[in-house]
């Protein structure tokens, strides 16, 4: 791989990678059974530089902010490189957000340019607030030739005849503005520097290296902090190949393993759980004699790999299982939410190591990661090289708030010094998660201190973002909490949302309120629905600017009620 200590920016490192491995395959885009494109590093550069030239001719320069809203595809990475080559700041937005949320984040980030997929652009143009679009140049991918683009230009036709100029950036300069929540509450734009990403890449590849010929299967959105690093930056600076799969249907994911002989993949716990379920069902369907043989081989594999993975042994003993994963899989990675230890152990026993990690958007990608020395299913691993972790305000049993420090921690929250000061204290990122470090330096998680839920699919749910869906409730005021925030429980699962309602007269209100909340829930996806509510008899505490003091209100409710007081919806 490249020695990233020699480079001051992502643009410089990626530029060097394209020059170093011109004939290696860097990117494959597959859609179900069809392969859309296959690019060498040279071909990737030939597609990106005309785009960079066009962007520069349109006024993009150092510190210009450019948003990308796209599903997994080659044009996402090509666009990102053109932005970094031109010295711009990338704003990767989640394509699953609503058009209204996209417009709000575009405005908050002050994005001057937008690169967007056609079907997402159509949704944005139909939004009532479309007239307030902040971006002055919009490029649309995959738009039909006769499509009405509302002032935008086709990505495929956008270029300039002049040679693009590489714009060097420094390590402390901004590389990305990454949003860790929606927009109903305060948008949290994490400003990440080039140093944040370069240092994270050095740490991760020291544990799990890439090389020319290694293949990473990308099924998470590239805007996600994890896949941006291990599905783009990491493989590219090592000359490896990224396989973009534009579908999440299980049968096509299984086919991609065998078709492309995948080396690494990152998944969220929900996908990992489905994988475990599928394997268990296949094993249960085996004839009794074959099942006994499989159990015996698994037992032998466990005995021989207890201390560390020995892939060649596992591939011989459990050949059928490993062939189903393409025969070249070295490890899977999981993050974004809590993963049950039993799932991790089940896969490890089959010779499929899963690197269980823990991180936050504010920390770049990962804070801790299991390095398999030895494998531990009961922890989220040890701090990455260059990252420090400590436990703040620990109880008698060592459990307290997890804090992290290192060169991968974000610079600040965009335009929000108050929130930045609360999140980063004396250089330490206060994660809001409860954990304990054991004698070997492994981190165990026990719950959340902050008012947030993380779903099995890796989605961060901030209760403040959901309150707009319940504006018509017949109460004086209300706010939404994670139930575990009000009544702390040492668990990473079974979380739900609870609504606290203040009314002058609460007699007879419970039935009407339940009906209204049920109605509001119908307009929300399952993971955003309210599970119950509590009735409160006093005005909510507020700041001088009249914002609800959520932490104070939660403390008051906790002091005067217990979880049994919650009325279930």
Could you tell me which of 175, 166, 7, 194 has the C-alpha nearest to residue 82?
166
> What stretches in the chain show pLDDT beneath 70?
181-185, 456-459, 492, 506-507, 543-547
Cα distances from 341 to residues 247, 307, 389, in angstroms, run 28, 17, 22
**Are 398 and 493 members of one domain?**
no
Q: Residue 397: how many CB atoms within 10 A of its CB? A: 9
Does a structural domain hold residue 428? Answer: yes
**Are 430 and 505 members of one domain?**
no
Q: Which two tokens stand for residue 26?
A: 């860097």
Does a structural domain hold residue 546? Answer: yes
**Are 426 and 503 members of one domain?**
no
Gap between the Cα atoms of 552 and 485, Å rounded:
12
CATH number, residue 503: 3.30.300.30
Q: Determine the structural domain holding residue 95 and report its residue range.
A: 4-193
Number of domains observed in the structure of the chain? 3
**Are 310 and 402 members of one domain?**
yes
**Are 52 and 96 members of one domain?**
yes
Does a structural domain hold residue 250? Answer: no
Does a structural domain hold residue 559? Answer: yes
CATH number, residue 381: 3.40.50.12780
Does a structural domain hold residue 82? Answer: yes
| pLDDT of amino acid 474 | 87
**Are 506 and 381 members of one domain?**
no
| pLDDT of amino acid 336 | 72
| pLDDT of amino acid 556 | 92
Q: pLDDT tens for residues 305-315?
A: 998 999 999 99
Gap between the Cα atoms of 76 and 68, Å rounded:
7
Specify whether the CB–CB gap between 231 and 222 falls below 8 A.
yes
| pLDDT of amino acid 182 | 46
Q: Which residues pair with 35 in a beta bridge?
A: 30
| pLDDT of amino acid 271 | 85
Does a structural domain hold residue 81? Answer: yes
**Are 411 and 527 members of one domain?**
no
Residue 428, CB-side half-sphere exposure with 13 Å CA sphere: 14
User: Quick one: DSSP state of residue 540?
Assistant: P
Boundary of a domain, candidates 170, 193, 216: 193
Q: pLDDT tens for residues 125-177?
A: 999 999 999 899 999 999 999 999 999 999 999 998 899 999 999 999 999 99
Boundary of a domain, candidates 160, 178, 193: 193
| pLDDT of amino acid 422 | 92
| pLDDT of amino acid 303 | 96
Specify whether the CB–CB gap between 15 and 166 falls below 8 A.
yes
Gap between the Cα atoms of 38 and 241, Å rounded:
10
116-134 exposure pattern, b = at least 16 Cβ within 10 A, e = fewer: bbbebbbbbbebeeeeebb
| pLDDT of amino acid 457 | 67
pTM here is: 0.85
Rounded (10°) CA dihedral 118, 123, 126, 127? -130
Boundary of a domain, candidates 193, 215, 231: 193
| pLDDT of amino acid 183 | 41
**Are 487 and 443 members of one domain?**
no
Cα distances from 84 to residues 12, 90, 157, 549, in angstroms, run 8, 8, 20, 40
Does a structural domain hold residue 33? Answer: yes
**Are 12 and 130 members of one domain?**
yes
Specify whether the CB–CB gap between 415 and 191 falls below 8 A.
no
Gap between the Cα atoms of 5 and 483, Å rounded:
45
**Are 386 and 280 members of one domain?**
yes
**Are 386 and 497 members of one domain?**
no
Specify whether the CB–CB gap between 368 and 385 falls below 8 A.
no
Does a structural domain hold residue 228? Answer: no
* Residue indicated by tokens 């949320």: 101
| pLDDT of amino acid 184 | 45
Give the helix/strand (H/E) hosting 72.
none
Gap between the Cα atoms of 72 and 76, Å rounded:
7
Q: Which two tokens stand for residue 314?
A: 């596992």
**Are 361 and 309 members of one domain?**
yes
What angle is formed at CA 36 by the lines to CA 135 and CA 336, rounded to 5 degrees?
60
Q: pLDDT tens for residues 190-237?
A: 999 999 999 999 999 999 999 999 999 999 889 988 899 999 999 999
- Sequence-ordered list of residues with C-beta below 8 angstroms from that of 463, at least 6 positions apart, any chain: 451, 452, 453, 479, 480, 481, 482, 497
Q: Which residues pair with 434 in a beta bridge?
A: 401, 447
């Amino acid at each position: 791989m490249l020695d990233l200590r020699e480079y001051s920016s992502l643009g410089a490192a990626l530029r060097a990678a394209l020059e170093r491995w011109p004939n290696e395959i860097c990117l494959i885009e597959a859609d179900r059974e069809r392969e859309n494109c296959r690019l060498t590093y040279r071909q990737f550069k030939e597609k990106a530089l005309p785009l960079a030239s066009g962007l520069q001719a349109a006024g993009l320069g150092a510190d210009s902010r450019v948003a990308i809203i796209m599903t997994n595809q080659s044009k996402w990475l090509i666009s990102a490189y053109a932005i970094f080559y031109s010295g711009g700041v990338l704003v990767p937005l989640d394509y699953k957000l609503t058009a209204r949320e996209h417009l709000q984040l575009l405005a908050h980030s002050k994005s001057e340019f937008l690169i967007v997929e056609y079907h997402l652009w159509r949704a944005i143009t139909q939004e009532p607030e479309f007239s307030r679009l902040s971006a002055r140049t919009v490029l649309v991918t995959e738009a039909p030739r006769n499509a009405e683009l509302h002032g935008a230009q086709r990505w495929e036709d956008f270029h300039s005849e002049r040679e693009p100029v590489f714009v060097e950036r420094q390590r402390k300069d901004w590389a990305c503005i990454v949003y860790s929540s929606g927009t109903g509450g305060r948008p949290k734009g994490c400003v990440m520097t080039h140093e944040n990403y370069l240092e994270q890449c050095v740490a991760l590849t020291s544990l799990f290296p890439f090389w020319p010929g290694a293949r990473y299967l990308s099924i998470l959105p590239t805007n996600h902090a994890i896949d941006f690093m291990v599905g783009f930056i990491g493989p590219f600076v090592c000359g490896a190949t990224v396989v973009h799969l534009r579908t999440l249907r299980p049968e096509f994911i299984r086919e991609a393993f065998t078709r492309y002989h995948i080396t690494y993949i990152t998944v969220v716990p929900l996908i990992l759980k489905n994988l475990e379920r599928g394997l268990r069902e296949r094993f249960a369907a085996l004839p009794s004699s074959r099942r006994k043989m499989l159990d015996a081989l698994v037992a032998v594999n466990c005995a021989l790999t207890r201390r560390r993975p020995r892939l060649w042994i596992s591939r011989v003993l459990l050949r059928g299982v490993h062939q189903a994963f393409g025969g070249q899989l070295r490890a899977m990675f999981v993050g974004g939410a809590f993963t049950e230890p039993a799932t991790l152990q089940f896969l490890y026993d089959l010779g499929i190591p899963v690197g269980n990690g823990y991180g936050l958007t504010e920390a770049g990608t990962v804070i801790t990661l299991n390095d398999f020395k030895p494998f531990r299913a009961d922890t989220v691993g040890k701090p990455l090289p260059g990252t420090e972790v400590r436990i703040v305000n620990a109880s008698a049993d060592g459990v307290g708030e997890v804090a992290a420090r290192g060169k991968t921690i974000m610079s600040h929250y965009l335009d929000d010094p108050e929130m930045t000061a609360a999140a980063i204290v004396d250089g330490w990122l206060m994660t809001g998660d409860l954990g304990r470090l054991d004698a070997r330096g492994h981190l165990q998680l026990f719950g959340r201190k902050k008012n947030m839920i993380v779903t099995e699919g890796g989605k961060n749910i901030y209760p403040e973002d959901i309150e707009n869906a319940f504006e018509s409730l017949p109460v004086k005021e209300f706010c939404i909490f994670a139930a575990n925030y009000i009544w702390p429980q040492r668990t990473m699962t079974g979380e739900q949302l609870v609504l606290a309602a203040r009314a002058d007269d609460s007699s007879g209100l419970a039935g009407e309120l339940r009906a209204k909340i049920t109605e509001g829930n119908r307009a929300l996806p399952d993971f955003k629905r309210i599970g119950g509510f509590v009735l409160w008899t006093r005005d909510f505490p507020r700041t001088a600017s009249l914002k609800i003091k959520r932490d104070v209100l939660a403390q008051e409710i906790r002091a005067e009620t217990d979880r049994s007081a919650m009325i279930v919806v």
